[in-house]
Structure 1
Amino acid sequence: MTNWLPSIPEGHGPLYIRLADCIAEEIATGKLAAGAKLPPQRNLAYDLGVTVGTVGRAYAVVRQRGLVSGEVGRGTYVLGTHEGEALAEGTKPAINSLSNPGNGTGSAVPAEVSWVQGAMKTPKDIAFAGTRVSVPSPEAIRFDSTSAPEVGQARAIRELTAEITRDAPYDIASYTRSVPERWREAGRVWLSRGDWQPPEGSIVPTTGAQAAIMAIITATTAPGDQVAFEDLTYSSIARGSALTGRRPVQITSDEEGPLPDDLASVCAQRHPKILFVMPTMHNPTTRLMGVERRIELVEVARRHNLWIIEDEVYGSLRNTGLAPFAELAPERTFHVGSLSKAVTAGVRGGWVSSPVSHAQRIYTAHKMLTGGISFLLSELSARLVLSGTADTLRKGVLEEIAARHGLVQQLLDPFEHASAADAPFFWLKVPEPWLSGTFKAAAAAFNTLVDDEDEFKSGRSGRVYHRVRVGITNPLTREETAKGLEILRNLLEDSGAGYDSFE
């Protein structure tokens, strides 16, 4: 623990804010180094002659600023600032600085990418941005994205956009002041699974899935409330929750999903308000959650009055016949889907099937957060779905994914990975002596971008997976996909020589 006692400046503002500013200043000047452990709240309160509540609020403020990270039972630690300094100075880290020993996974930022000069100047910027804090070169092989591959979307979008421009030019040019029934009907069609269909009055059109999920979180929780995530998840939602003052809390998972007993324990001790799950195709593991596990989680949610967000963005690519959470627990489940992975990402078409009692609240929260939905994009999304074009394109996307999955099996079969013929990504385990972050940096040195495991962690964790996620749908052609996979294979085969330097 750091032997440190702050000197709180005089002033008229709240004492906890002045203490938080003092901590931030000590971090900025280097007096509190990266990895330093702050004193326990009770000890610091005694030393300063203030209440424990004052110190607790100050620690919460600097945590929300992205300067420290705290875990129950372990304490509060200063986050690293060297990334922010490098960005502020317009510098690039050296490629042989592949390992960051502070996080246990070797997380590193690749050198062979174009950095946004001065765009991120503070540790808070870095903390909320995640591991993708760079702008890749146009020639990079983008295995760090899972947008739907091109199978005819451009032509369909061009033709439908021309129709909309002809049919509704004044609506396109103005604010969207109401939701036509056809937009809701498109959501009902797209979100329906097996025997389940969204009930009347439940559909809220949104600007994609992420905006929908953030609207749900802000509408059902208050700042300071906790949101439960799996230890591996779509971490943009966890970071977004923190940005709005909510606190992510981690649930331990196994090969099927969150462990019901651990969720129950967390609910009893931490009292989260909402649980985020991806049951049909988990990102990044490709995992499918069985119906028994879904039922067990619903029982816990009912016992502890927990809302559920069911993210089915990737689920639109997988027809399982399993009952969704929205069918098992319609009174507490927000079922979210979009066109981004199965049809097209740029149209930003998304929908929520909400408990009917909360549909208006979600609509209002989404409008407040985003400024409201675009008539052009919402109408385009609806026409894609209701014309049957979206379903036709989805079939083409699945065929292309299967073909690229075949390339993965052909080129990387000797190496352990979790994959599926309907998944636009796979979860690759890197062999000794690779760490997830060093492998990511090494691949970037060859202009091939993958995501390390830290990109999917909902918070600081002692668990290490030694894996990277590789998306296979973003490259324009199968040839480019194969080229990138060969680069990864060469790194995996030559791991001993490549661990130290790639200059």
Structure 2
Amino acid sequence: MTNWLPDLSHGSGPLYTRLAERIEDAIADGTLPPGAKLPPQRDLAYDIGVTIGTVGRAYALVRERGLVSGEVGRGTFVLGREPSPGIAPVPVAAHHVGIRNPASPGKLRMDSTSAPGVGQDEAIQTLISQIIRSYPTEVVDYTRMWPASWQEAGSRWLRCGDWTPAPETIVSANGAHAAIMAVIAATTAPGDKVAFEQLTYSPISRSANLIGRRTILIDGNDEGVDPEDFERLCAQQHPKVAFLMPSLKNPTLSIMSSERRRAVVEVARKYNVWLIEDALYGELLTDQPAPLAALAPERTFHVGGLSKTVSAGIRSGWVSCPANFQSRVQTAHKMMTGGIPFLLAELAAELVLSGEADSIRAQVRRELEGREALARSSFAGLDFTSHRVAPFLWMKLPEPWLSTTFKNAAAAEGVLIDDEDEYKPIRTDKVYHRVRVSFSHPPTRQDVQSGFATLRRLIDHGNPGYDGYG
């Protein structure tokens, strides 16, 4: 480790930019040679009298300038100099890291639950080549046809236990999120209320608010929605739609019992409320209760897709609609998104109909089982909820950690996670002191284990009152 202390007494601007400049100067004059390890953020912060947040921002800035690289669990290292003239540099492919925290290079993303890589790229590459050869005109034009095979694929993928939706009820969509928003647009008008659970996939609520719908909240417990509170809400506030995740709910991982599903359906029937059933995570289960769509097909829109089970990059999903709603939802989807790309919709259909999607899903389940076992070992003795095939866990933080404080502390240590506020549809006074730790995005189990070790070390030995984490 390099014994290096910068002098921040001269220069202008914020402390973190001055520190970044001193690092850059030291690299330029050879004080910090290629391969040198920068001091740990906590140690350097103490030595020069600044917060760890200041050091973290400076390190992030020099990483963005391509001067250093961060390796979770090992530290931050100076990169080599530019190659000599006449020697062609080796091209490096850009690595896209998702939509949250885009300016966080070098950090381990444990805030994303896309399907882990299990070699599905080979099947995707093969099918894309075949589609381009078979449909050269369609892949370069707007989608002007909706093959019956797309609906057949959706019917097959959404089936659950003894329930299989009829192909004529299926709409292909640009992922589950787009499908859900198309349903909300098709069943409500500006000013209408949409009911959500207290903790859920909140981007749907935010998106609904953007198009003029209003969010109201349903109370629940460890099993999901409380039917009595749902009835109170329906009687008093008259929502048009309720958005629910009955199986492996995000982020709590609750699975609603068959009895409770029937109770929720009866309330929805009594007050004429549409139900949107998000089954994205439920598709990872091998056995689950009958879906809401099987219990109330006349009012349930059942939504699924490939992002958690096959590949998030394909952006493909399907929604099964109640009778006479397929055309309306399809039109709403086109108006909301501009239309579905033929290449991706055909790719999704062929993955499902060829059996490749089922094969990939089985491999994804096995990989998640291995990673979840690491989680149970790493966090033994702590209070958390996990499931053997789910790509995340829901952890209660020990006193005196706060959810946001721990998230910021983890980020300062190089690990990105989600605090509880990420899953609140609207601001509430409820506090859970929990974080969601995802483990499907890191490339290897070794990376996952490293991230778990960092979080466990932070829980056991971190200082939750340290002002640098604010």
Scaled by the length of structure 1, the TM-score of the pair is 0.74
Aligned partners of 2:419 and 2:465: how far apart in 1?
Answer: 16
What is the match of residue 107 of structure 1? none
1:427-481 deviation line (CA, Å, top 9, x unaligned): 0111111100000000000110000000000111111100000110000000110
Tell me if 1:373 matches 2:335: no
Mark the CA change 1:447 to 1:409 in structure 2 (over 3 Å): closer, same or farther.
same
Using the alignment, how far apart are the partners of 1:498 and 1:366 within structure 2? 45
CA deviations on 1:395-454 (whole Å, 9 max, x unpaired) are 100000000011101111121100010110000111111100000000000110000000
The equivalent of 2:446 in structure 1 is 479
2:295 to 328, 332, 337: 328
Deviation at 1:200, TM superposition (A): 4.0
Report the counterpart of residue 165 of structure 1 in structure 2: 132
Give 1:277-426 correspondences, 5 Å limit. 277-426=244-393
Q: Which residue of 2 aligns with 1:232?
A: 199
8 Å contact 2:109–2:441 — kept in the other structure? yes
State the distance in 2 between where 1:133 and 1:176 align. Answer: 30
Matches within 5 A, 1:55-94: none
* Residue type at the aligned position of 1:183: W
CA distance in 2, matches of 1:469, 1:200: 36
Letter in 2 for 1:328: L
Q: Displacement, 1:137?
A: 2.6
CA distance in 2, matches of 1:468, 1:147: 18
Runs (5+) with no aligned partner, structure 1: 1-88, 97-109, 118-131
Structure 1 contact 201–356 (Cα < 8 Å) conserved? no
**1:499 aligned to which of 443, 465, 469:** 465
**What is the match of residue 156 of structure 2?**
189
Per-residue deviation, 1:498? 4.1
Deviations 1:135-187 (A, max 9, x none): 14332110000000000111111111111111111110111112101111100
- Of 201, 209, 212, the match for 1:245: 212
Aligned partners of 1:186, 1:301: CA distance in 2, in Å? 29
Instruction: Give the percent of matched residue pairs that are identical in Structure 1 and Structure 2.
Output: 50
Measure the CA separation in 1 of the matches of 2:357 and 2:101.
32
Contact 2:192 2:240 in 1 (8 A): yes
SS, match of residue 201 in structure 1: helix
Q: Do 2:152 and 2:167's aligned partners in 1 also have CA atoms closer than 8 Å?
A: no
1:459 maps to which residue?
Answer: 426
Q: Which runs of 4+ in 1 moved over 2 A?
A: 110-114
Give the 3-state SS of the residue equivalent to 1:309 in structure 2: strand
Query: Hey, what's the Cα distance between the residues in 1 that align with 2:324 and 2:338?
Result: 23
Q: Does 1:264 align with 2:231?
A: yes
Letter paired with 2:287 = T
Counterpart in 2 of 1:134? 101
Amino acid in the other structure paired with 1:359: Q
Q: Secondary structure at the match of 2:314?
A: coil
Query: SS of the residue aligned with 2:454?
Result: helix
Residue in structure 2 matched with residue 11 of structure 1 by the alignment? none
Aligned length: 383
The amino acid of 2:406's aligned partner reads F
**1:133 offset after TM fit, Å?**
5.9
Partner of residue 427 from structure 1, selected from 387, 390, 394: 394
Q: What amino acid is aligned across from residue 101 of structure 2 in structure 1? A: S
Equivalent residue of 1:323, what SS? Answer: coil
Say whether the 8 Å CA contact 1:113–1:134 is kept in structure 2: no
Residue equivalent to 1:207: 174
The answer to whether the Cα contact below 8 Å between 2:205 and 2:215 also exists between their aligned partners in 1 is yes
Structure 2 CA distance for aligned equivalents of residues 302 and 313 of structure 1: 24
Matched residue type, 2:465: Y
- Taking a change above 3 Å as real, the CA distance of residues 133 and 175 of structure 1, as seen in their structure-2 partners, is closer
Larger gyration radius, structure 1 or structure 2: 2
Instruction: Give me the TM-score of the superposition, normalised by structure 2.
Output: 0.79
- Unaligned stretches of 5+ residues in structure 2: 1-13, 18-40, 43-55, 65-98
2:187 to 213, 220, 238: 220
8 Å CA contact 1:146–1:474 kept in 2: the answer is: yes
Q: In the alignment, is the contact (CA less than 8 A) between 2:405 and 2:464 conserved in 1?
A: no
SS at match of 1:336: strand
Inter-CA distance 490–502: structure 2 relative to 1 (3 Å threshold) = farther
C-alpha displacement of 1:389: 0.4
Q: Hey, what's the Cα distance between the residues in 2 that align with 1:423 and 1:292?
A: 23
CA distance in 1, matches of 2:294, 2:409: 45
SS in 2 for 1:351: strand
Tell me if structure 2 keeps the 8 A contact 1:417–1:429: yes
Give the deviation of 1:113 after TM superposition.
6.0
- Supply the distance in 2 between the matched residues of 1:492 and 1:148 (Cα, whole angstroms): 27
